[in-house]
Amino acid sequence: MGSRSLILFLLAISIFSCKEKVEQNLEKEQEDLAVVEPEEVYEFGFNLNDFVVKRDTIRRGDTFGDILERNKIGYPKIFNIVQKAKDTFDIARGLRVGKPYTLLCSKDSLQQPQCFIYQPNLEEYVVINFQDSIHAYIKRKPITYIEKSATGIIETNISEALDDQGLSLRLAYKMADEIYAWTIDFNRLQKGDKFKVLYTDKYIDDTIYAGVHDVKAAYFLHNNEPFYAFEFETDSVKHIRDYFSDEAKNLRRAFLKAPVQFSRISSRYNLKRRIAYYGNKIRPHKGTDFAAPIGTPIMATANGTVTKSSYTSGNGNYVKIRHNATYETQYLHMLKRKVKVGQFVKQGDIIGWVGMTGHTAGPHVCYRFWKNGRQVDPLREKLPEAEPISENLKNKYFDFIKPIKAKLDSIPFKKVKPKLPMENNLISQAK
Q: Which of 56 and 386 is assigned the larger pLDDT?
A: 56
Q: Which of 208 and 19 is assigned the larger pLDDT?
A: 208
The length of the chain in residues reads 431
- Would you state the pLDDT for residue 316? 95
Q: Are the beta carbons of 114 and 105 closer than 8 angstroms?
A: yes
Average pLDDT for 273-300: 80
Lowest-pLDDT choice from 316-330, 365-379, 405-419: 405-419
- Would you state the pLDDT for residue 370? 93
Give all domains of the chain, ordered by start, each with its CATH number.
Answer: 44-140 (3.10.450.350), 142-252+387-431 (3.10.450.350), 264-376 (2.70.70.10)
Q: Which of 236 and 68 is assigned the larger pLDDT?
A: 68
Query: Is the pLDDT reported for residue 363 higher than 80?
Result: yes
Q: Which of 200 and 159 is assigned the larger pLDDT?
A: 200
Average pLDDT for 103-116: 93
- For the segment 221-231, what is each residue's pLDDT rounded down to a tens digit? 998 999 999 99
Radius of gyration of the chain (CA): 32
- Would you state the pLDDT for residue 120? 93
Q: Name the nearest CA neighbour of 347 among 394, 386, 315.
A: 386
pTM of the model: 0.60
- Would you state the pLDDT for residue 161? 83
Query: Is the pLDDT reported for residue 261 higher than 90?
Result: no
> Average pLDDT, whole number, for the chain?
84
- For the segment 118-168, what is each residue's pLDDT rounded down to a tens digit? 999 988 999 999 988 899 999 998 899 999 999 989 888 888 888 878 888
CA–CA gap between residue 42 and residue 149 (Å, rounded): 33
Q: Are the beta carbons of 235 and 303 closer than 8 angstroms?
A: no
- For the segment 46-97, what is each residue's pLDDT rounded down to a tens digit? 999 999 999 999 999 999 999 999 998 998 999 999 999 988 998 888 899 9
- Would you state the pLDDT for residue 424? 46
- Would you state the pLDDT for residue 189? 86
Phi and psi at 343, nearest 5°, equal -80, 135
